[in-house]
Amino acid sequence: MKSIVSLLKSATLAATTSVFMAGVAMAAGPAPVVAKPDLAKGEASFAMCVACHAADGNSTTPVNPKLSQQHPEYLIKQLSEFKSGKRANAVMSGMAAGLSDDDMRNIAYWLASKQAKPGFAKEKDTVALGERIYRGGIPDRQIAACASCHSPNGAGMPSQYPRLSGQHADYTASQLTQFREGVRKNNLQMTQVAAKMNDREIKAVSDYIAGLR
C-alpha cells in the first residue's frame, strides 16, 4: 500500500513540476530574435567612415585605428559607448549618434570580414622592452602581461578582448595614455594597467604591438 501511495505522490509531483515549468516558459515568452548582420548595408553605412579609416578599414593615418578584422562584438560595444557618451570622442560621438543598433551590427560584422594589413615595429632601441611588457608584464609593479588577455600574437579573444596586432603605434599609445590620465573611462581593467605605466613603457609596448602578426 505504501508503495502505491509513494508512486502516486511522485507522479503528482512530476506533473506539478511540469505544469510549473511550462508556465515559466510561457511567461518568459519566446527568445528574442537577433537580426542577422547585413554586410552589404554595413559596407554602405561605412562610407561615412572611409575618410578616417580607409575603404577597407585599414587606416593609413597613424592616429586613426585600423578596424579591419576586429572582433565585431568589440566594435559594437565601442560604437554604442561613443553614442551614449560613455566613451568620449567628439568626432566619433557625432558619427555614432545617428547609428541604430542594426547599423552598428552591420558595420561591425562587415569590418570583421575584411582582412587586416600587417604593421611594423619601428623603434629598434625599445623593441626588447616592448616585447618584455607585452609577453611578461612588469611583475614588480603588478602590471599584467598584455598577452594574457590579447593573446601572444595580438589576435585577442572574441567577445572579450580586442585584436591588437598590427595596430598603429601612435593610436595604441594615445589610448593607453588616455586610460592612464582618466580621459578614456570605458574599461576599468585598462585604466588600472595604464595607470602604472610611464611614457617610455607605453611607447615601447605600442610599437611592439604594431609588429605583431
pLDDT tens-place string over residues 127-144: 999 999 999 999 999 999
Structure-block grid coordinates of residue 31: 527568445
Q: Are 122 and 109 in contact (CB under 8 A)?
A: no
Digit-coded pLDDT (tens) for 190-199: 999 999 999 9
Helix and strand numbers, DSSP H then E, in the chain: 11, 0
CA distances from residue 5 to 116, 190, 211 in whole angstroms, order as listed:
69, 62, 74
pLDDT above 70 as % of the chain: 84
pLDDT average, residue stretch 2-23: 45
pLDDT at 18 over 90: no
Report pLDDT for 35. Answer: 76
Q: Give the orientation angle of helix 199-210 with respect to helix 169-181, to 10 degrees.
A: 140
Can you tell me whether residue 105 is helix, strand or coil? helix
Cα dihedral sign, 182-184-189-191: negative
Q: What is the DSSP string of 106-126?
A: HHHHHHHTSPPPP-----TTT
